[in-house]
Structure 1
């Protein structure tokens, strides 16, 4: 049986990916961030039968020895561990360099030395910056519009270098904007939903004009697995996108109409990115993933939003709606 490890397994996308892999009969090891509370993040909340099938490895992606130990005996690694919040990257960029660049280097070096059969490195649509053209394909130029995106560009290029220099079987997987159950409140959809469910009549947001290509988390997990199952994806960088966009204002109005039609929106200055840092438009091409794999999104935006809202209705207690979550 193929032995698979998922880094960042305690996070939003990582926990959904672990669930999918277990349900497909894979032998899964979950690399979670060590902490003295012995918290396994979102994995603590999944079905016990699924969780009991997962081997937990608590460590730190920045530690090369721990990464090497975790990857020993593995066949395939899905590397999702990263710092991802853009506002936090403005005042703590060094932590992003250590986690996103050095952490990825640790994965690549260990995978090379241990001769893993597949290495999937998680990128982000933020590496493209504001679209020069749409839909954004994998040939689009890169623009580092935040310290976060700069570190992800660097990590992607490290991954490319290991493929070209050492023939490491790397694929760079580039999801556009994810949403769904378990997402943190630093993301816009949970920000809106949790404020509405908390009874807020005034919803506080940042810029309203930017557009995003939102992908339901289960479709993203399917995309990772489809990419791993195709030998044609080795050495490639591949978008996971819907080829559909919506503005933040349009998104907010849709959620308001579903949860509390009397609510209104205000823009708070502290939630605004610096002008040159704001990514104004993201609309991704999914032509490449469809050409190289059998992936197709299974959820419409309406279906995904419905499932997300229903999950948050049962899980609002852990969310702080009175502060700006960065």
Structure 2
């Protein structure tokens, strides 16, 4: 594995650097001594060392931005991620075609990257397989977001012989700064505001919930091993139900609220247990510390009540 001294000074291009995961990714890389170049829209603010402006949907602008970045490594996080987003076309124009434009621009760049990490999603597995899912589980995407991510993986396959690529499939993860439209921040915000009622969907399904700080650590460490073109789950392998998450928040805050099941939030035929197998990840990066969910929730509740 590459040591910190060898990683220091590497120029790392990060797309989506102003997003939830991107902000933590920038901090993780800078702590390792990397020179971070953020790629995003004009006016986007990050703590990166440099910024280059380009829209993933603009191939010509992207070629110029990538050329000016002179990146040794690339982490592609930019994506439309909220499944409930109203414009279906945006999933494909950003997640699929935007990634294709980026790979094309990287191939054309004078400085060829040593490693390109593309963030896909465990949503590609869908809701038909249950238990502990590994990378050989047959994908069965159940919404346009997941379809766009799986299509992105297939497009990336066209570049595997031309660029050193790793594709990650992160399972659910959360942390301070994640929007309240996502499930765990929604629960945390209700406790932070001492709301009397919380509406959720299926309460007893068990899902894999990680911590954004551990996820960006895994991404950084994957950059430090040779790219093999593999798909890699990023997950804890441990499950928690929504009922358990609510109980943890109640225990930490002393606040108790009424939980109502809203039929509109209930997915029909939802599998009871859906977790990730992280054996391949651990084989690549070695021991990996993930905070217990209780600690992640305490961090989020503390930030939300300040």
Counterpart of 1:152? 149
Partner SS, residue 283 of structure 1:
strand
Q: How many angstroms apart in 2 are the aligned matches of 1:207 and 1:134?
A: 17
Q: How many angstroms apart in 2 are the aligned matches of 1:238 and 1:156?
A: 12
Q: How many angstroms apart in 2 are the aligned matches of 1:295 and 1:156?
A: 27
- Runs of 4+ more than 4 Å apart: none
Q: Deviations over 1:178-208 (max 9, x none)?
A: 1111111121111011122122110122332
Residue 196 of structure 1 contacts residue 203 of structure 1 at CA under 8 Å; is this kept in 2?
no
Q: How many angstroms apart in 2 are the aligned matches of 1:76 and 1:124?
A: 21
Counterpart of 1:96? 91
1:161 deviation in Å?
2.3
Counterpart of 2:242? 248
Alignment of 1:65-214 (within 5 A): 65-72=60-67, 73-88=70-85, 91-114=86-109, 115-130=112-127, 132-163=129-160, 166-214=161-209
Partner SS, residue 305 of structure 2:
helix
Counterpart of 1:10? 18
Counterpart of 1:308? 300
Task: Flag the 1:266–1:33 CA change in 2: closer, same or farther, 3 A.
Answer: farther
Task: Flag the 1:39–1:71 CA change in 2: closer, same or farther, 3 A.
Answer: closer
Residue 130 of structure 2 contacts residue 272 of structure 2 at CA under 8 Å; is this kept in 1?
no
For residue 277 of structure 2, the aligned residue among 272, 275, 285 is: 285
Task: Flag the 1:176–1:54 CA change in 2: closer, same or farther, 3 A.
Answer: same
Q: How many angstroms apart in 1 are the aligned matches of 2:247 and 2:290?
A: 24
Q: How many angstroms apart in 2 are the aligned matches of 1:297 and 1:193?
A: 23
Task: Flag the 1:272–1:65 CA change in 2: closer, same or farther, 3 A.
Answer: farther
Q: How many angstroms apart in 2 are the aligned matches of 1:290 and 1:151?
A: 27
Structure 1 length as normaliser, TM-score?
0.85
Partner SS, residue 30 of structure 1:
strand
Counterpart of 1:220? 215
Q: How many angstroms apart in 2 are the aligned matches of 1:296 and 1:157?
A: 28
Counterpart of 2:252? 258
Q: How many angstroms apart in 2 are the aligned matches of 1:145 and 1:152?
A: 11
Q: How many angstroms apart in 2 are the aligned matches of 1:168 and 1:253?
A: 46
Structure 2 length as normaliser, TM-score?
0.90
Q: Which runs of 5 or more residues in structure 1 are unaligned?
A: 44-50, 315-326
Q: How many angstroms apart in 2 are the aligned matches of 1:281 and 1:64?
A: 41
Count of residues in Structure 1 that have an aligned counterpart in Structure 2: 294
